[in-house]
Structure 1
Amino acid sequence: MDDFHLVIITGMSGAGKTQVCRHMEDLGYFCVDNLPPMFIPKFVELCAHSAGRVNKVVLVVDMRSREFFDALIHVVEQMDQENQPYDMVFMEASDATIIRRYKETRRRHPMAPSSRISDGIAKERERLAPIRNRATHIIDTTELKKSELKDKVLRLFGNCQGEQMNITVVSFGFKFGMPLDADMVFDVRFLPNPFYIDALRHKSGAVPSVAEYIAKWPVTQQFLEKLDDMVDFLVPQYIKEGKSQLVLAVGCTGGMHRSVYIAKHLFEFLKARGYGANIEHRDLMKNDVHEHPRQE
């Protein structure tokens, strides 16, 4: 249980618990929404016996009833007595903000289904006061933009947990269409094309003879120097911004020679810098290839 991390998210209805839960999922946490508090000890026990497969858990607890509230107080007190480590995130916002959000969604407040939203907010604040006092983190979303909330969650539970952005490098052919999920697209059709060399036409850009042909030109060397410098600058900025995934797409005409070579170079460059990177040659097998690399 030493590496098990439990986060309980609770707080005011309409304050952003669901949004925080989604951001935690992006950070690799296993999230359970609306778990009755009385089930928390058993759930934690099951996770402890998962052989490390479930070691980062988020539980979202709503105060739907008096029974839920009493059960959560009991569970938290029990975990404190047993020295069970956990983080509790308490979400709150101003009355005006919560009222506006409920009116926009046309939902009823769970604490006042048959009366005014303001009545439900007042009851919930009073009931949650003891829980708020036990919270390890309090997040007020009154003035927070969605991007700011994501950044706050990342600062609390992302970098401190050793998370890193996942980078995928994709080679593709423009004649087969651009990757829809690409964050950045590099068009390398300006590089010398091995397709016009009979001995290289049916070999991929990962084959040494093709790679040597593409690499020998000054324009290729200049481009790689500028590409490495740009990626070296941009990736830390994306990580700082809180981006969890980055797709870098490299395209040439058919996705067989130049894009494969540049994508492989970019992948190796990122790995050498210590980033978590994957490579995919999307359109390589759509061409007549006699020699091709194994997918990495």
Structure 2
Amino acid sequence: MRFVIVTGLSGAGKSQVVKHLEDLGFFCVDNLPPSLIPKFAEVCFQSRSKMDKIALVIDIRGGELFKDIFPGLSEIKAAGYNYEILFLEASDEVLIKRFKESRRNHPLSNEGRLNKAISEERKILQEIKNNASHIIDTSNLTTRQLKEEIARIFVEGKHFEGLIISIISFGFKYGTPIDCDLVFDVRFIPNPYYISSLKKLTGKHEDVKAYVLKSKETEVFIEKLSDMLEFLIPNYIKEGKSRLVIGIGCTGGKHRSVAIADDVYRLLVEKQHRVVIEHRDIEKDNKALAK
């Protein structure tokens, strides 16, 4: 029997995870009152049915009832029932964006400020996060990538013990991404913007890539960055970090940062790291010119 408690921050992707778990054959129950966990677990574990994969979604939508989760989990542990906790989180910036796009209210907002509600929720959930079997940061994961992470844990049986590396290319003139752990300024590298045949292209174009990556400065930079990341990544994993965000910025986020971010992404994937990439500002200059 696999008995999973799915919890985490509001807007972090619990609904998507439930869909993926159902596809994997899990019987899923959403928003079960935590006080009912022991009785529900008893029924599931003693049942003679073929129901051998159970997932319960429990979060702060239950209000004051959420505090009953800890006595409930202690009771099923004392009864000898094994369980796992899957905790989902995301950055404040991403959560705020998701709530604004969906026009949903945060369970703790009460018409107050959204960032304050998220901060309060983090405090409430900290204890259960500390006891989580698996923690997934969904900030930069696509639906497909999240599905793959769920499959890694619940099909392949791999314990979540690594970290997801997010690489973001950006333009300094549009601001530095606030959730970056590491930021690298590549404005010292020769700029394709001043080459007439390359100006309107992006760092995804082969001619721009060749111009940027064949620069001596770029070669040395990527070599040193690669060495540094190979030192840092194992230590971040050892420290328990589940997400590393690397920002690579140039002036407009269109040429140099894009080409270099893509190359760093390639190198990390080749070394079997789990990496996602985003080119935040790649089209902003074009949109500005079109106005």
TM score, norm. by length of structure 2: 0.56
- Considering only aligned residues, what root-mean-square deviation do their CA atoms show, in Å? 4.6
2:35 match: 63
Kept in 2: contact 1:165–1:243 (CA 8 A):
yes
Q: Which runs of 5+ in 1 are unaligned?
A: 10-19, 33-45, 89-106, 112-120, 140-144, 290-296
SS in 1 for 2:133: helix
Per-residue Cα deviation, 1:130-157 (whole angstroms, up to 9, x for no partner):
8613233699xxxxx95895376249x9
CA drift of 1:193 comes to: 1.7
Kept in 2: contact 1:31–1:57 (CA 8 A):
no
CA drift of 1:264 comes to: 0.9
2:279 is equivalent to residue 281 of structure 1: yes
CA drift of 1:29 comes to: 9.2
TM score, norm. by length of structure 1: 0.55
Kept in 2: contact 1:31–1:58 (CA 8 A):
no
Per-residue Cα deviation, 1:182-241 (whole angstroms, up to 9, x for no partner):
232111111122222333222222323322222333222111101111222323333344
2:3 match: 6
- Distance between the aligned counterparts of 1:51 and 1:138, measured in 2? 19
Kept in 1: contact 2:169–2:279 (CA 8 A):
yes
- Distance between the aligned counterparts of 2:8 and 2:65, measured in 1? 22
Kept in 2: contact 1:194–1:210 (CA 8 A):
yes
- Distance between the aligned counterparts of 1:261 and 1:110, measured in 2? 49
Kept in 2: contact 1:5–1:57 (CA 8 A):
no
2:19 is equivalent to residue 22 of structure 1: no
For the structure 1 residues 130 and 282, does the alpha-carbon distance in structure 2 shift closer, same or farther, using more than 3 Å as the test?
closer
Q: Which runs of 5+ in 2 are unaligned?
A: 56-63, 86-124, 136-149
1:41-120 correspondence to structure 2 within 5 Å: 50-52=22-24, 55=26, 62-63=34-35, 72-78=41-47, 81-82=48-49, 85=52
For the structure 1 residues 55 and 229, does the alpha-carbon distance in structure 2 shift closer, same or farther, using more than 3 Å as the test?
farther
For the structure 1 residues 137 and 203, does the alpha-carbon distance in structure 2 shift closer, same or farther, using more than 3 Å as the test?
closer
Structure 1 segments of 4+ aligned residues over 6 angstroms from their partners: 25-32, 107-111
For residue 258 of structure 1, what is the amino acid of its counterpart? R
CA drift of 1:56 comes to: 8.7
Larger Rg: 1
